[in-house]
Chain A
C-alpha cells in the first residue's frame, strides 16, 4: 500500500490546494504556516520525523493542527504518531485521510476522533482513477469545523 492514482496529490493539486484555500481564507483562524514532513521507510525514522513536526508546531505556539496525507497503509504509522505527538503537546488535531472500506487505519489511537475520510468512490477502494478520492473543498471545510470545535473545548 502507498499512494494510488485516486488519492495522490499532483503538482497541480498543490498549486491550487483546497485545504490551503479554506484555512487561509478563514477569518477565525491565524494560519502560521504549512509543515511539510516526509514518510521514511523505517520505524525509527517514522517516529523521529513526526515527533520533530510536533515539536515544530509547539514552538510555533499552535493551538491546532490539521494533518493531511495522500497515502495509506504503512504511512498510517507516521500519521498516527504525528497526531499523538501533537495531542501530547496540547495541540488540537483534526485531519484528512483516505479510509473507505480498504484504507482503515493500520494502527489505532484514541486521538483519531476528528479525521475526515476523503473517500468518494462507491466501493470505498483505490479506483486507479486519477484524483477521484483526493481532498475537496468540502472535505477541508469539515476538517476545519472539527478543529474549531476541538480548540473551543480546549
Chain B
C-alpha cells in the first residue's frame, strides 16, 4: 500500500555569518549574532546561582578551558504552528553550551564531568556536538556552594539559559524564510502493511543532572514544559516530527 503522509514540518536553517560581542543578544538580518557577555549577570540570585557570564569561543580559541558542559543547545524557534508541524527556524554554525561549576570548583555533572581544554573535551561533529569550525556561545553558570548538584538550582540554570536563547529566538522568528541557507522537509509517515515498530527512549529521571524536559513551547526549550520526573517517569508517546522538532530538552 501507498505510504500516508501526515503532518509536515519544515526546518529552515540560517547559517551564522559572524558571531561577536555586542551590546545586546540579537541576530541581525545579515545573520550576524551579537552576544552581550554581562547581560545575565544580574540574574544571579546568590542563593542558588553566584554568577553568570556569557563567553564567546571562536574556532581559534578552542584551546581555552571550560567547566563541565551540561548541554549543547541549538538556537531554534517556532515560526508557524506547534512543535511537530509547521515551520521552525534554526541557527547552524553556532551553538549554545551551558556549563556549570560551583564556587568551590565542584563540577556540575552526574557521572564524570567534561571540564578542561575545549578542543580535547568535545568529540567534534557528532549528532549532539558542534563540529570543528563552529562558533561556541558558552552560558557559564557558577553555582553557590553545593548547589551545582541541587535539582532546583540546576533547573534554574537551564531556565535562565533558555531565557537567553529566547532572545535569539525572537530575532530568528523575524528572519525571512526564503533567505534560509538550508531547508528540510519532514512528514509523519504511515506505511500500511510494513512491520510496525516503536522506538523506546529510556531517559534520565532521578534528579539534578539526571532529568529531561518535555513539551516546552519552543524547540529544545524549557519554558512551558514539564520534567519527566514530575510526570512520575511514566512512558509517553511523541511523533517523529515532534521529536525532531526539539520536543525533548536534555537536563542530564
Contact = CB atoms under 8 A, between A and B. Distances in A.
Contacts of B69: 5, 130
Contacts of A62: 196-198
Interface of B: 3, 68-69, 71-74, 76, 90, 95, 109-114, 120-123, 126-130, 186, 189-207, 209-210, 212, 214, 219-220, 228-229, 231-240, 243-244, 246, 248-250, 252
Contacts of A53: 200, 235
Given A128-B113, A131-B126, A147 B197 contact: yes
Which of A2, A45, A49, A136 has the most chain B CB atoms inside 10 A of its CB? Answer: A2
Contact of B196 (A30, A37, A135): A30
Contacts of B206: 2, 39-41
**Interface residues of A: mostly helix, strand, loop or mixed?**
mixed
Contacts of B203: 36-39, 70
A8 B220 CA distance: 16
B192 A2 contact: no
Contacts of A27: 3, 191, 194
Given A33-B240, A131-B122, A40 B205 contact: yes
A36 B112 contact: no
Interface in A96-154: 120, 126, 128-132, 134-136, 147-148, 151
Given A13-B250, A24-B240, A128-B121, A65 B73 contact: no
